[in-house]
Amino acid sequence: MYTQALNDPANKAATVAEGEEEQNVRFMARIDADEKIEPNDWMPDSYRKTLIRQISQHANSEIIGMLPEGNWNTRAPTLRRKATLLAKIQDEGGHGLYLYSAAETLGISREEMEHQLITGKARYSSIFNYPTLSWADIGTIGWLVDGAAIMNQIPLCRCSFGPYARAMVRVCKEESFHQRQGYEILLALCNGSDEQKAMAQESINRWWWPSIMMFGPHDTDSTHSDQSMAWKIKRISNDDLRQKFIDATVPQAHFLGLEIPDPDMKFNQETGHWEFGKIDWDEFKQVLAGNGPCNRERLAARTKAFEDGKWVQEAALAHAKKQAARAANKEAA
């Protein structure tokens, strides 16, 4: 669900080889006419690369995103919460798989993408490099992090690449429960004891800024958005999405009786928007560069799962081979 890394510098503007110009013109005409591009259609190399990068990063984010919440799977305070949290984490795994499956139609294998993830060649949303320190964090992640992700993802349902758009439709349909379960957890805390309410406020204090950073750099600093916009991979700008998210979220925080940890936050009657303070992009860059509180742990956990999985994968392949040989022998006999 997490597409923060849309504006990766690796995205060089479309460099179209000579002779392909005509195909590219036809391609752009299809994009302009809002036609969907399907895997076997001709597409510029740079379009393919941009999509592979974006979809695999999106998938990686889903998979890494299972970890911070998984940290509370075994401590959920009621059996109902335990079941819904497990189901939510499971959904994230499922969304990762929908997305890997969409990326595979572009000619990259899932194993390759997993390998890129654990070797640090591919990114994932840096929000997951923050720790989950209290039960309230499970509520906050559902409400803010999934909320931000949904804002990002709804426009992607109209993305020009068919398999990505279809995967997003499935993801968005399933995710509405995630945000609601998060908000419900916070409602229970805010209607509870003083300690519980303090737990909720402390959690919002830590997650607010990283959540609004999920929309990526300001449009003025986001040099690579234009091409993605022209290709209709990206359909709404970072700042527009961020503003939309803040406008939706601030009243929800007030309903909970929680404060947004931004002293500059104020409502502008004229524009109808909530105005917010300065984002600390240094922190964003540091976390992106691998210096967040949990970057190493997250990658270590995925690396371990990948390494521990090798013998299982080998066993399944070996068994399938033996079965095929047995079937062939039977037929020959």
* Contact status, residue 203 vs residue 139, Cβ threshold 8 Å: yes
Least distance to other proteins, CB of residue 254, Å: 22
Which tokens belong to 203? 């959690």
Residue pointed to by tokens 């795994």: 93
Nearer of residues 128 and 215 to other proteins, judged by Cβ: 128
Write the single-letter amino acid at 269: Q
Q: Of 285 and 304, which CB lies nearer to other proteins in the complex structure?
A: 304
| 148, amino acid identity | A
Q: How far is the CB of 301 from other proteins (least distance, A)?
A: 7
- Residue nearer to other proteins on the CB measure, 76 or 213: 76
Nearest distance, CB of residue 86 and other proteins, angstroms: 5
| Residue closest to 70 by CA, chosen among 120, 119, 141 | 141
Phi/psi of residue 267, nearest 5 degrees: -85, 130
Residue 143 corresponds to which amino acid? W
Taking the least distance from each CB to other proteins, the nearer of 191 and 223 is 191
Residue among 76 and 204 whose Cβ is closer to other proteins? 76
**Helices 238-256 & 194-213 angle (0-180, nearest 10):** 170
Least distance (Å) between residue 233 CB and other proteins: 19
For the bound state, the minimum distance from the C-beta of residue 326 to other proteins, rounded and expressed in Å, comes to: 10
Q: What is the 3-state secondary structure (H, E, C) of 103-125?
A: HHCCCCCHHHHHHHHHCCCCCCC
CB of 104 to other proteins, least distance (A): 6
Please check whether residue 299 is in contact with residue 291, taking contact to mean a CB–CB distance below 8 angstroms: no
CB nearer to other proteins: pick between 195 and 270:
195
Residue 236's SS3 state is coil
Q: Which residues bind other proteins (CB under 8 A)?
A: 38, 40-42, 63, 66-67, 70, 73-83, 86-87, 89-91, 93-94, 96-98, 100-102, 104, 109-112, 115, 135, 163, 166-167, 170, 174, 185, 188-189, 191-193, 195-196, 301, 304-305, 308-320, 322-323
Q: Find residue 268's DSSP bridge partners.
A: 273
